[in-house]
Chain A
Amino acid sequence: MVNYQERLNRTFAALVDPTRRAILARLEREDEASVSELAEPFAIKLPAVMKHLDVLDEAGLITRSKQGRVVTVRLSPRPMKEAMDWLHRYERFWTERLDRLAAFVEREERKARKKEKPR
């Protein structure tokens, strides 16, 4: 089984290439596309596009299904979701804690004021 860290490594390695990101963005817009449709906007040869699709497939970012001679490519969201969670983890971590810190210190402040007043 591929562990979480390895999956992240693969996802980020796949995302570092602009052609692959453009492919993913297009699949997000269009739900699905054939390999030849995907190859059209790029000034590269079909075999190069196929290589990019292999990388995306290995990272689990797309699925490919074959019907006759047409290979249909679709987006597969889970690895991307994990990557987003990873990038945001510190922000989430601290946001949640600061909410609790605020509640705690405001309680302490009220206590401190009560003590000060009667004197």
Chain B
Amino acid sequence: MTSLTLTRRLKARPSIVFDALTTPAGVAAWWGPDAGPVLLAEIDLRVGGRFRVRFRMLDGSEHESSGEYLEIVRPELLAMSWRWAGNEDPGESHLEFRLRPIAGGTELTLTHSRLHDEDTRRSHEQGWSGALDKLVRHFEGGRAGA
């Protein structure tokens, strides 16, 4: 299964983090990838309810994602399906936020799984050997685009 996991320690209690993930005002405050605005944040926070978020980036492009809430345990767990509008990434994936209280705040673990093109991506990833890792470093280094 192809997935992505990121963990962050946040200096805020879990209930505050949970509200930032699940209220339109909260989402609007942090969702934008750059200084571009969040244009729309619709949230129907109940299992089976849907969310829809649309934002504009500084390059002028607009992107929208939506999904259905699958599991809600405030302030510990939020799970939803995820899909981009348009054909940016056809197919549905799975997004999960887990919040754990720690001293001075919250440990947040984000898991984005069932990413589209899983089989293709898995086979490519397995095939991407050490040789390719070198290429990756090469292309991430200064000579990219040369």
Are A109 and B16 in contact, with the CB atoms below 8 A?
Answer: yes
Query: CA separation between A101 and B87, bound complex, in Å?
Result: 27
Query: CA separation between A94 and B97, bound complex, in Å?
Result: 12
In the complex, residue of chain A having the shortest beta-carbon distance to the beta carbon of B124 = A12
The tally of residues in B whose CB lies under 8 Å from a CB in A reads: 46
Are A21 and B129 in contact, with the CB atoms below 8 A?
Answer: yes
* B39 contacts partner chain A, Cβ-Cβ < 8 Å: no
Whole-angstrom distance between the Cβ of A93 and the nearest chain B Cβ: 7
Inter-chain contacts of A12 with B (CB < 8 A): 120, 124
Are A101 and B132 in contact, with the CB atoms below 8 A?
Answer: no
Are B16 and A105 in contact, with the CB atoms below 8 A?
Answer: yes
**Chain B interface residues (CB < 8 Å from chain A):** 4, 6, 8, 10-13, 16-17, 19-21, 26, 29-34, 87, 105-106, 108, 110, 112, 115, 120-121, 123-125, 127-129, 131-132, 134-136, 138-140, 143-146
What 10 A-B pairs are tightest by C-beta distance, nearest first? A25-B131, A109-B12, A105-B12, A100-B30, A101-B30, A104-B30, A104-B29, A106-B11, A108-B16, A81-B139
Secondary structure call for the A interface: helix
Contact bitstring A42-62, B, C-beta under 8 A = 1, else 0: 000000000000000000000
Contact bitstring A66-88, B, C-beta under 8 A = 1, else 0: 00000000000110110010010
Are A95 and B131 in contact, with the CB atoms below 8 A?
Answer: no
Are A28 and B124 in contact, with the CB atoms below 8 A?
Answer: no
Inter-chain contacts of B146 with A (CB < 8 A): 77
* A30 contacts partner chain B, Cβ-Cβ < 8 Å: no
Whole-angstrom distance between the Cβ of B121 and the nearest chain A Cβ: 8
* A118 contacts partner chain B, Cβ-Cβ < 8 Å: no
With A100-B30, A101-B20, A108-B16 given, is the CB distance from A16 to B4 under 8 Å? Answer: no
Whole-angstrom distance between the Cβ of B91 and the nearest chain A Cβ: 13
Query: CA separation between A105 and B131, bound complex, in Å?
Result: 42
Are B32 and A100 in contact, with the CB atoms below 8 A?
Answer: yes
Are B128 and A15 in contact, with the CB atoms below 8 A?
Answer: yes
Inter-chain contacts of A84 with B (CB < 8 A): 136, 139-140
* A38 contacts partner chain B, Cβ-Cβ < 8 Å: no
Task: For A105, give its contact among B17, B33, B112 (CB under 8 Å).
Answer: B17
Task: For A28, give its contact among B10, B31, B134 (CB under 8 Å).
Answer: B134
8 A/B residue pairs, CB under 8 Å, sorted by A: A15-B128, A25-B132, A84-B136, A102-B8, A105-B17, A106-B10, A109-B16, A112-B13
Whole-angstrom distance between the Cβ of B52 and the nearest chain A Cβ: 16
Are A109 and B145 in contact, with the CB atoms below 8 A?
Answer: no
